[in-house]
């Protein structure tokens, strides 16, 4: 398999920069996907992706891995909530919050619930972005399964969800708090002046250089005192290099 050729085509035609991903892991995964589909060469796979839209979507789903749930790692969300209450919302109730690589929307909607709970009258801007338009459309629908809402606390469940035919529908009030946009963390420009950036379970797929670039850009996009909340396997050991201090195990404060 000529990965170089394949990656060049994917960047040109699909607009995803695969060279940003950890290459061994990525190549192993693409090879196993190709075996399942029954193609062996780059040319064969490119031809298939050119003519078959559903295979194209399958490849996108495969690359982007969009598993998520509400309050993923609840104890870490508790830490974030505490810091929001004790420092971020102390001086300013109108926050700018960004859920980057938000997948099905469970993450930004979790943040919206916390904000609505702690600062009900705030006029906060809650940006939620992902590279994958299909998943953004799913997020906008706000319809979830039992397993996706398993970490939602009882009072939030009662207040913000309606159960219909085994599906959990998020309240319109919470939905309307979130602005969804398509955004590629590697190729697109970042907005500025955020109080909180949440970016979890996506940089693990990127190589070190790209990861460093992203953390640098997050630091630039945060206000001083702003918080960066990362995933449970994504400790940033060199956080000082980006101008952060540690606020909690997986939360960093911009100096």
Tell which one of 76, 101, 128, 236 touches ligand SAM (CB under 6 A): 101
16, 67, 134, 158, 175 from 61: Cα distances, Å: 12, 10, 9, 32, 24
Whole-angstrom distance, CA of residue 210 vs CA of residue 186: 7
Within residues 125-154, the interface with ligand SAM by CB under 6 A covers 130-132, 135
Within residues 44-73, the interface with ligand SAM by CB under 6 A covers 64-68, 72
Whichever of 44 and 79 has its CB closer to ligand SAM, that residue is 79
Is 186 a binding residue for ligand SAM by CB under 6 A? The answer is yes
Q: Which two tokens stand for residue 115?
A: 């904000």
Kindly indicate which of the ranges 38-46, 162-170, 178-186, 247-255 contains the residues binding ligand SAM, using the contact rule CB under 6 A: 178-186
- Cβ 43 to ligand SAM, closest distance in Å? 25
Three-class SS state of 212: helix
- Cβ 90 to ligand SAM, closest distance in Å? 26
Whichever of 102 and 247 has its CB closer to ligand SAM, that residue is 102
Q: Residue 142 pairs with which residues in a beta bridge?
A: none
Contacts of 180 (CB under 8 A, 6+ apart): 102, 105, 108, 128, 129, 130, 136, 139, 140
Residues lying near ligand SAM in the complex (CB under 6 A) are found at 64-68, 72, 101-103, 107, 130-132, 135, 184-186, 200-202, 231
């Amino acid at each position: 398999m000529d990965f170089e050729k394949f990656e060049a085509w994917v960047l040109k035609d699909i607009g995803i920069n695969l060279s940003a991903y950890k290459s061994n892991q990525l190549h192993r995964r693409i090879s196993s996907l190709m075996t399942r589909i029954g193609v062996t060469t780059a040319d064969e796979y490119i031809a298939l992706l050119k003519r078959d839209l559903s295979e194209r979507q399958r490849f996108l789903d495969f690359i982007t891995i969009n598993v998520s749930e509400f309050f993923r790692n609840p104890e870490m969300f508790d830490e974030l909530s505490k810091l929001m209450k004790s420092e971020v919302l102390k001086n300013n109730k109108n926050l700018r919050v960004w859920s980057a690589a938000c997948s099905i929307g469970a993450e930004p909607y979790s943040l919206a619930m916390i904000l609505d709970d702690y600062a009900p009258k705030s006029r906060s801007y809650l940006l939620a972005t992902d590279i994958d338009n299909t998943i953004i459309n799913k997020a906008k629908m706000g319809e979830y399964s039992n397993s996706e809402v398993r970490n939602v606390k009882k009072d939030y469940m009662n207040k913000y969800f309606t159960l219909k035919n085994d599906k959990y529908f998020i309240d319109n009030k919470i939905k309307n708090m979130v602005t969804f946009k398509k955004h590629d963390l590697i190729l697109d420009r970042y907005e500025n002046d955020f109080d909180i950036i949440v970016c979890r379970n996506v940089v693990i797929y990127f190589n070190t250089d790209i990861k460093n670039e992203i953390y640098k850009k997050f630091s630039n996009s945060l206000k001083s005192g702003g918080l960066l909340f990362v995933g449970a396997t994504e400790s940033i050991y060199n956080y000082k290099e980006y101008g952060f201090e540690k606020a909690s195990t997986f939360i960093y404060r911009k100096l």
